Structure 1
Amino acid sequence: MMPNLRPHFTLAGLSHGARAALPAFPGFIMFSMAFGTAASQKGLSLAEAFGLSAFVYAGASQMVGLEIWQKVWSPTTILTIMTVTAVVNARMILLGATLHPWLKDEPKLRTALNLFLITDSGWLINTRYYSEGGRDVGILLGSGLALWAVWLIATFAGFFAGALVPEPTRFGLDLVMPIFFGAMLVPLWKGPKPALPWLVAGAVSLAFHTLVPGYLFILAGAVAGVIAGMLIE
C-alpha cells in the first residue's frame, strides 16, 4: 500500500508526535527550570512566570524579557520589551513559512495552534519527519503539545526551586542566564568563519551598551550580526 503523501490529520499522529518529542525533553526541562528560577529571583509572581511560559512560550525571549522586566511599567518600557521580543523571535517567521506546504489545507484554528506551538526543537523533529515522506499533521501538533506541557511543568518546578534560595548571588544563580546563552552557542559552532557574525554582534552590542542607555544594544547587535553574515556569505 502506497503511503499517503497528502497532508492529513489523525489522532494516532498526536500520540506518535508526543513520543517523537521525547529526545527534546531534557533540554526543555533545563531551560524552562532555569527560566522559572530566574523569574522567581527577579521578583515575578508565580502567575506572571507561568503566564509568560504559557502564552509567550519563547524561551530566549522570556529570558531577555526578564532583563527588561520592571515593577512599574511605562509606555517606553512596554515598547522596548515588544521590540526586543520581536527581534529575538523574528526567526519564527522563516520557520513558519517552511511549514506552509504541510499546513496550507489545514483548518485555520488548528494551523494557528500549530504555529503558536512551534519551537526550534519541534521544527527540527517535524521537518525531518516531513523530509522522510511523513505527512500526518497530527504528529506536528502532538509534539508541540507535549513540549508545551513539559515547558509549563518545568517552569512551575523551577520557580519554587528559585524561591527556596534567598540569596541567589551566593550560589551563583544570577549567572544562570549568561551561562545558558553561552552554552547554547556550543552546538552551533561550525568553525571560525561562520562564527565571525557572533563576534561582530557581540562587539557592537557591547559598544552600544557602553555608550547608549537602554536596550538598543540588543537590536544593534542583532542587525550588525545579520549584516556581517550577509557580507561574509
Structure 2
Amino acid sequence: MRSIWRTVSVEYLRDAAALGAAMVVVGASFGALAVSAGLSTLTAVAMSLLVFAGGSQFLAVAIVASGGAPVAAVLGGLLLNARHLPFGLAVAHVVGRSWPARLIGAHVMVDEVVAFARSADPRRARQAYWLLGATMYTTWNLGTVLGAWAGALLPDPDRLGVDAAFPAALFALLLPTVRGAATIRATVSGAGLALAVTPFVPAGLPVLIGLLGLVAAGRLAKVPA
C-alpha cells in the first residue's frame, strides 16, 4: 500500500481537492437537513461515518422525517445502493487483495471514487482510488459535522422550507445520471408511480415502490419489441 504514495500525481491531487471541496458543501447540507428534521447531531454524524452514501442518507432521513418506518428507510437505501455490486466487480483489482483493504475499499466505494479510478492511468488506478476515497470520506464527514452544528442553530426549520429541501437535494444528486431516452423513461415511470400511490400507502413506501418501478421500467426498455 505504501508504494502507491511514492509519487502522487499533481493532477490527481488537484482533482481530489476540487471534489473534496464540493463534498464538504453536500455533506454540510445533509448534516443541516438531518438535524433540522429531528435527528440528533450524534445520529447524523454516526450515519455519515458508518453509512457514507450520500443519496441513501438523504433518502433515509427524508423517509423517517415524513413519518415512514425505519425499515422503509433501510430498504430504500439498499435499493438505491444496489449499483455498488457491479461497482465492486469493476474495481476489485484496484482496491487490493487483503481483507482489510477490501473492507475499507468497499466502504469508500462511492460513484465519484469508482469513476476516478476507472478513468485514471491503469498504472495509477489504485493510487487514484485510495486518494479520492480518503478525500471524499474525510470531507463528507467534516461537512456533516459543520452542517449538523449549523442546523442545530436554525430557529424554525419548517419556515425555511426544510421539507422541500429533501426532495430538492435528492433531485440534484440524481439529475446527472438521467441521460438518454431509456433512462428518462425509467425515471419518469418511477416518479409517476411513486406519486400515484402516495395517497394510498403509508409514508416511506412510495419511495420504495417508485424505485422498484424504475428498475422494472429499465428492464422492460432492454427487451426488444
Q: Does the alignment reach a TM-score above 0.5?
A: yes
How many pairs does the alignment contain? 219
What does 1:138-217 correspond to in 2, within 5 Å? 138-217=127-206
How far has the Cα of 1:43 moved from its partner?
Answer: 2.0
Instruction: Tell me, yes or no, if the aligned pair for 1:12 and 1:138 is still in contact at 8 Å.
Output: no
Could you tell me which residue of structure 1 aligns to residue 61 of structure 2? 66
Query: Are 1:12 and 2:6 counterparts?
Result: yes
Q: Deviations over 1:36-61 (max 9, x none)?
A: 01111122222111100111111111
Structure 1: 5+ residue runs without aligned partners? 1-6, 71-75
Range moving further from structure 2, 117-126 or 204-213: 204-213
Could you tell me which residue of structure 1 aligns to residue 74 of structure 2? 82
AA aligned to 1:86 is: L
Could you tell me which residue of structure 1 aligns to residue 85 of structure 2? 93
In the aligned structure 2, how far is the partner of 1:177 from the partner of 1:106? 38
Give RMSD over aligned pairs: 2.6
1:209/1:228 Cα in 2 relative to 1: closer, same or farther (>3 Å)? Answer: same
Structure 2: 5+ residue runs without aligned partners? none
AA aligned to 1:87 is: L
Correspondence for 2:110 among 91, 111, 119: 119
How far has the Cα of 1:186 moved from its partner?
Answer: 3.6
Query: Are 1:46 and 2:37 counterparts?
Result: no
1:80/1:184 Cα in 2 relative to 1: closer, same or farther (>3 Å)? Answer: closer
In the aligned structure 1, how far is the partner of 2:142 from the partner of 2:221? 42
**Greater RCO structure (CA 8 Å; 6+ sep):** 1
1:135/1:201 Cα in 2 relative to 1: closer, same or farther (>3 Å)? Answer: same
How far has the Cα of 1:20 moved from its partner?
Answer: 3.9
In the aligned structure 1, how far is the partner of 2:127 from the partner of 2:97? 11
- SS in structure 2 opposite 1:213? coil
1:157/1:210 Cα in 2 relative to 1: closer, same or farther (>3 Å)? Answer: same
Could you tell me which residue of structure 1 aligns to residue 218 of structure 2? 229
Correspondence for 1:102 among 90, 94, 101: 94
User: How high is the sequence identity, in percent, across the aligned residues?
Assistant: 24
How far has the Cα of 1:13 moved from its partner?
Answer: 6.2
1:112/1:172 Cα in 2 relative to 1: closer, same or farther (>3 Å)? Answer: same
- SS in structure 1 opposite 2:6? helix
Could you tell me which residue of structure 2 aligns to residue 4 of structure 1? none
How far has the Cα of 1:195 moved from its partner?
Answer: 0.4
Range moving further from structure 2, 198-207 or 167-176: 167-176
Q: Deviations over 1:118-146 (max 9, x none)?
A: 111111111101xx323452432221111
1:26/1:8 Cα in 2 relative to 1: closer, same or farther (>3 Å)? Answer: closer
How far has the Cα of 1:163 moved from its partner?
Answer: 1.5
How far has the Cα of 1:147 moved from its partner?
Answer: 0.8
